[in-house]
Structure 1
Amino acid sequence: MPVIPKEPLDWLDLFRQQMDELFRYLSTLEGREGFTEKEITPLVDVYETADSLVVEVELPGCRPGDISLSTCCSTLVVEAAVREETGPGVNYICLERANGRFCRTIEIPPGADLDRGRARYRQGLLTVVFPWSRESRTHIREIPIEQGD
């Protein structure tokens, strides 16, 4: 039985997961003419430690120069292209590894210091670390309404 989200952002995450699943299904259908690359979805782990928030993205076969990493508001954006390297005369019998491009967004929770984030790519694993902010800021505040004439 599926878990019913209680928070609005959890609903958005569930919607994103369902849309990812829908597009993954549509990309498997035959007859998609005009597409030279297919969209892939790398596996992502997000966990927190006492000092930081850690995001790990599996990118086997990806070159560091083909990876783009940025933040927008409170979202981490990971883009890359995994290229197939084959020589002339190669005839695959089995091809299970994904090749193509992707753009993956990961919501970063409040309290993580986006300005001090750092990343490392080693052995096909991209690791992005955001230390927890030293400042205790309120992320929700009320805006007073002025009365008109």
Structure 2
Amino acid sequence: MLLPGALETLLGLQEAMDRSFNTGFFDSATTSRGVNPPVNIFEKDGEMVLVAELPGVKKEDLNIEVKGNTLRLAGERTIKYGENTSYHRVERDSSKFDRTVRLPVNVEADKVKAEYKDGLLLLTLPRAEADKPKQITIQ
């Protein structure tokens, strides 16, 4: 049996833990602010590839930066239904995000390619020449 106020305390603790996990504090490879767009990062044909889900975000509202092995993805989703609107449920809301991801290799920033279609961002991130393995010949 829960004591009076114990349920509120437990719910408050759960909310605080959820917030701390969403800040990136526990993840040494990623930091973030706001709503985190889900991303997949993988290597294909010697290049890193990032796919991010960004439904409702206009490409002109995206900011992508790459330096060394760090990628920053920031933007804003704006949802407007006009004036004189009566909301019955709001689960999708306007939001900003700012996410920094550390990649396992340095990237050739001048050669990054970005495509955006149907709310999916595809970044092709070529590995920096200095990070590519070199074949050593024994003489």
TM-score w.r.t. the length of structure 1 is 0.61
Aligned residues of 1:40 and 1:99 also touching (Cα < 8 A): no
Specify the SS of the correspondent of 2:114.
strand
For the aligned residue pairs, the C-alpha RMSD in angstroms reads: 2.7
Higher relative contact order, structure no. (Cα contacts within 8 Å, ≥ 6 residues apart): 2
- After TM superposition, what 4+ stretches of structure 1 lie above 6 angstroms from structure 2? none
Q: Are residues 74 and 133 of structure 1, via their aligned partners in 2, closer, same or farther at CA, if it must alter by over 3 Å?
A: closer
- For residues 50 and 18 of structure 2, the distance between their equivalents in structure 1, rounded to whole angstroms, comes to 19
> 2:29 is matched with which residue?
none
Aligned residues of 1:40 and 1:98 also touching (Cα < 8 A): no
Q: How does 1:1-149 map to 2 (within 5 A)?
A: 21-22=19-20, 24=22, 39-110=34-105, 112-133=107-128
Task: State the Cα distance separating 1:39 from its structure 2 match.
Answer: 2.2
Identical aligned residues as a percent:
27
* CA-to-aligned-CA distance 1:14-67 (integer Å, 9 cap, x gap): xxxxx9841749xxxxxxxxxxxx921111111111242110111111111110
> 2:9 is matched with which residue?
none
Aligned residues of 1:59 and 1:124 also touching (Cα < 8 A): yes
Q: Are residues 128 and 20 of structure 1, via their aligned partners in 2, closer, same or farther at CA, if it must alter by over 3 Å?
A: farther
- For residues 68 and 18 of structure 2, the distance between their equivalents in structure 1, rounded to whole angstroms, comes to 22
Specify the SS of the correspondent of 1:90.
coil
- For residues 51 and 111 of structure 2, the distance between their equivalents in structure 1, rounded to whole angstroms, comes to 17
- For residues 60 and 37 of structure 2, the distance between their equivalents in structure 1, rounded to whole angstroms, comes to 17
Structure 2 unaligned blocks of 5 or more? 1-16, 24-32, 134-139
Aligned AA (2:90): L
Aligned AA (1:128): L
Structure 1 unaligned blocks of 5 or more? 1-18, 26-37, 139-149
> 1:29 is matched with which residue?
none
> 2:137 is matched with which residue?
none
- For residues 24 and 89 of structure 1, the distance between their equivalents in structure 2, rounded to whole angstroms, comes to 34
